[in-house]
Amino acid sequence: MANIKSAKKRIRVIDKKTARNRRIKGHLKAVLRNFDEALASGNMELAKEKLTLAEKKLMQAAAKGTIHKKAASRKVSRLTKRFNKANA
């Protein structure tokens, strides 16, 4: 445990950021799972909605610094590619 006041504050700040990042990543996993389920069921209308939601959430996570910007872009690209392949 830290003794210095600033170190104690850093621990509190890190705990808050860790909790926020975990919450965002958990939400991202749920959104991506929903897209996978919609794609697997063959419902292309629902899959299209879930794809746009997934893209939005990935970019928001990248903007907040939870995931890297290029990682978010890569995931969006792969999801779109899968959607287009299933739609064709």
CB 50, CB 27: distance < 8 Å: no
> Quick one: pLDDT at residue 39?
94
- What string of pLDDT tens digits covers the 88 residues of the chain? 899 999 999 999 999 999 999 999 999 999 999 999 999 999 999 999 999 999 999 999 999 999 999 999 999 999 999 999 998 8
The pTM assigned to this predicted structure is 0.87
Residue 41 pLDDT: 94
Listed residue (85, 80, 87, 86) closest to 32, CA to CA: 80
**pLDDT in the model for residue 47:** 96
